[in-house]
Amino acid sequence: MKAKIADRIATSVLYFIALFIVTLLVGLLGYILAKGLPQVSWSFITSPPQVFTAGGGIGPQLFNSFYLLALTMIISIPLSLGAGIYMAEYAKKNWLTDVLRTAIEVLSSLPSIVVGLFAFLFFVLSMGWGFSILSGALALSLFNLPLMVRVVEDSLRGVSTAQREAGLALGVSRWETIKFVLLPAALPGIITGIILASGRVFGEAAALIYTAGMSSPNLDFGNWNPFSINSPLNPLRPAETLAVHIWKINGEGIMPDAAAVSSGASAVLILFILIFNFSARFIGKWIHKRMTSH
């Protein structure tokens, strides 16, 4: 009898904690969206901000966020795939792998602002790239690599041993088994991890303040030459992202409609992060269903 009562009490406490967390999350998201969505319009999303007059938008900042995200993924996906494959399939239990795992854990526990300060000293100052999209992308790649390496490693380790043995039994090499058997089987988990990491990168601000900068030049969206100073694709230009823009306008307070712009930009940022998270679940399930259905 006492065991049943204790079980019911423990179950009720766990349900209460889960309900509290969900309520807190829904309340936070609901407040941000309810306050920000009335400010969002097509003009707000596409027009540039106005510093001393009201009515500005977030067009360049939104483009910078996506461009920085694309560069970060181009840098970090190949590195994380290589490191994850090595850790899951080739690494032996020795001091080198222990050092690698420790380094990954330390990197994953570093605050983003510490990564940003390191990137500022190395990429911005030592390498001479200044406040630029390239510096920001490399900083976010350092910030993002531990998560993505673990996602790739865990996804590969989740593939059954029977599939490994079946590939080797057919006479194919170890690399061919990884490429044609293990990676396709682990693809749903890897893609889900990449999309979730993209949402994490998209909302990052602290590391970018010291690397990508807090301003953007007047962009000419008709000029797609990456070597032109006003080109949107120039990787060596400074780029204020959406998350940095929200922090900046709230900190400076010189924009007449700073509260409205901040609320609208926060709502847009939350919407895109929610899209990243929901699409990760949908795409992961869809790929898994396609690969496992007969």
Q: What is the CA 181 to chain-centroid distance, rounded?
A: 27
Tell me, what's the pLDDT at 122? Answer: 93
Q: What is the CA 265 to chain-centroid distance, rounded?
A: 18
Tell me, what's the pLDDT at 291? Answer: 67
Tell me, what's the pLDDT at 222? Answer: 78
Model confidence pLDDT, tens digit, residues 13-41: 999 999 999 999 999 989 989 998 898 88
Tell me, what's the pLDDT at 121? Answer: 93
Helix (H) or strand (E) holding 32: helix 2-36
- Domain locations in the chain as residue ranges: 40-292
pTM comes to: 0.86
4's CB contacts (< 8 A; 6+ apart) are none
Q: Block means of pLDDT (10 residues each) for the chain, length 294 residues?
A: 80 92 91 89 86 77 92 92 88 82 82 90 91 92 89 87 75 81 85 85 88 83 79 89 88 76 90 85 76 59
CA distances from 6 to 9, 14, 16 (A): 5, 12, 15
Instruction: Report the alpha-carbon distance of residue 40 to residue 57 in Å, rounded.
Output: 9
8 A C-beta contact, residue 211 and residue 244: no
Tell me, what's the pLDDT at 18? Answer: 93
Tell me which residue of 143, 135, 157 sits closest to 76, measured CA to CA.
143
Q: Which two tokens stand for residue 105?
A: 């854990």
Fold classification of 40-292 is: MetI-like fold (1.10.3720)
Tell me, what's the pLDDT at 79? Answer: 92
